[in-house]
């Protein structure tokens, strides 16, 4: 399925919930959010039907996100439904890791192929601060569980924040040497509820790359590990893992974007930074056929802009937890 700029769109990111058990400062208000009525949230059966329809028009890769997807009960049931669809060749999950270790075996058995963890600090007090109460040990246990179950590649997403965790760049990069982990340093994006807090804390990806090379040696450009993300990947000499940089703000990666997003309430979004959204829930609940649903999906893809419009921290956008970033 191609958009009007001839980009092949074969990747659907699905937010199964806008709720989260953490309150990361750059993402969610401290007191949480107004909960969406249960009736407005897509059921697993409805999500599976959207996946079926998207597969008809060329989607091959699915990622489940949130909020925090593992706080939605029975998520392995959805994974097992998607696993049965032969057109889908990649099924991944993005999680904060706090509930992963105890569910890991069940998730793999259901059909999960790989996992990304959010991890912004390796210091317990700092991690607790940025997440407003998170337990670092649970996330580290989750990463070990994923490695043991061979849910590879296991990726670590780290949002770098000047004056907060930029002094951990080398320690986090070293994880790619110590273990077969794929570290992705992500530029702080203008989506969240604490823009005043984030002001002046942006670090461009090139600066991070320079810091790593000065301290740990040359980064060799390599082919991407499995997964069609926007990161540029490198490897340190002797490392079993990789280091990636996602320059969401300093360098537009839109020319290679291959994704579409489905919100937990049934909105199709062709771009993370766009307010343009097409309602597919109404058609789902009105008995639309798979062909009719696939036509709605194609329509959303044709609305995909040539590039996102965000320029840096301070832009006022929908919250990440609402759109399944």
Alpha-carbon gap, residue 67 to 170, rounded angstroms: 29
N-to-C CA span, the chain: 22
- Assigned domain for 95 exists: yes
User: Which among 182, 130, 173, 172 has a CA at the least distance from the CA of 24?
Assistant: 130
Q: What is the pLDDT of residue 313?
A: 44
Q: At what angle do helices 290-302 and 44-56 cross, to 10 degrees?
A: 70
- Assigned domain for 60 exists: yes
**Which residues are CB-contacts of 125 (< 8 A; sequence separation ≥ 6)?**
none
Name the pTM for this structure. Answer: 0.92
Q: What is the pLDDT of residue 315?
A: 45
Q: What count of other Cβ atoms lies within 10 Å of the Cβ of residue 126?
A: 16
Alpha-carbon gap, residue 231 to 176, rounded angstroms: 15
Retrieve residue 186's tokens.
């992500």
Q: Kindly report, residue by residue over 303-324, the tens digit of the pLDDT.
A: 999 876 654 444 444 555 555 5
Query: How does DSSP assign 43-110, residue by residue?
Result: PHHHHHHHHHHHHHTT--EEEEESS-GGGSTTHHHHHHHHHT-TT--EEEEEE-STTTTTTHHHHHHH
Q: What is the pLDDT of residue 195?
A: 59
Q: Kindly report, residue by residue over 43-97, the tens digit of the pLDDT.
A: 999 999 999 999 999 999 999 999 999 999 999 999 999 999 999 999 999 999 9
- Assigned domain for 3 exists: no
- Assigned domain for 5 exists: no
Q: What is the pLDDT of residue 263?
A: 96
Residue 268's CATH number: 3.20.20.70
The DSSP letter of residue 131 is H
- Assigned domain for 4 exists: no
Q: What is the pLDDT of residue 197?
A: 62
Instruction: Domain of residue 309: give its range.
Output: 11-323
Alpha-carbon gap, residue 115 to 155, rounded angstroms: 7
| Residues of the chain scoring pLDDT < 50 | 311-317
Alpha-carbon gap, residue 192 to 188, rounded angstroms: 10
Alpha-carbon gap, residue 204 to 206, rounded angstroms: 6
Alpha-carbon gap, residue 37 to 238, rounded angstroms: 51
Alpha-carbon gap, residue 319 to 297, rounded angstroms: 22
Q: What is the pLDDT of residue 149?
A: 98
Alpha-carbon gap, residue 167 to 134, rounded angstroms: 20
- Tally of structural domains, the chain: 1
Instruction: Spell out the alpha helix ranges (H) of the chain.
Output: 44-56, 75-83, 104-110, 124-131, 136-148, 169-173, 175-178, 195-198, 205-216, 281-285, 290-302, 320-323
- Assigned domain for 6 exists: no
């Amino acid at each position: 399925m191609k958009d009007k700029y001839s980009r092949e769109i074969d990747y659907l990111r699905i937010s199964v919930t806008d709720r989260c058990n953490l309150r990361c400062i750059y993402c969610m208000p401290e007191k949480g959010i107004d909960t969406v009525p249960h009736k407005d949230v897509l059921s697993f059966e409805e999500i599976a039907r959207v996946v079926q329809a998207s597969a008809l028009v060329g989607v091959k890769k699915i990622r489940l996100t949130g909020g925090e997807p593992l706080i939605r009960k029975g998520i392995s049931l959805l994974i097992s439904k998607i696993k049965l669809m032969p057109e889908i060749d990649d099924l991944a999950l993005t999680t904060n890791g706090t509930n992963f270790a105890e569910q890991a075996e069940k998730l793999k058995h259901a059909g999960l192929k790989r996992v990304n963890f959010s991890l912004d600090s390796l210091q317990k007090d700092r991690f607790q601060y940025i997440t407003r109460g998170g337990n670092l040990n649970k996330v580290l246990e989750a990463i070990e569980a994923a490695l043991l179950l061979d849910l590879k590649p296991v990726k670590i997403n780290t949002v770098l924040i000047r004056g907060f965790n930029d002094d951990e760049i080398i320690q986090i990069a070293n994880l790619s040497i110590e273990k077969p982990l794929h570290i992705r340093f992500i530029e702080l994006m203008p989506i969240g509820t604490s823009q005043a807090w984030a002001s002046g804390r942006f670090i461009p990806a090139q600066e991070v790359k320079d810091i790593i090379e000065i301290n740990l040696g040359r980064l060799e450009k390599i082919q991407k590990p499995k997964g069609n993300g926007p990161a540029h990947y490198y490897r340190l000499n002797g490392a079993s893992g990789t280091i990636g940089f996602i320059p969401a703000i300093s360098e537009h990666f839109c020319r290679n974007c291959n994704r579409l997003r489905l919100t937990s309430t049934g909105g199709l979004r062709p771009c993370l930074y766009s307010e343009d959204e097409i309602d597919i829930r109404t058609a789902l609940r009105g008995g639309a056929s798979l062909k009719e649903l696939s036509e709605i999906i194609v329509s959303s893809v044709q609305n995909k802009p040539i590039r996102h419009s965000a320029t840096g921290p301070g832009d006022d956008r929908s919250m990440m937890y609402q759109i399944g970033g």
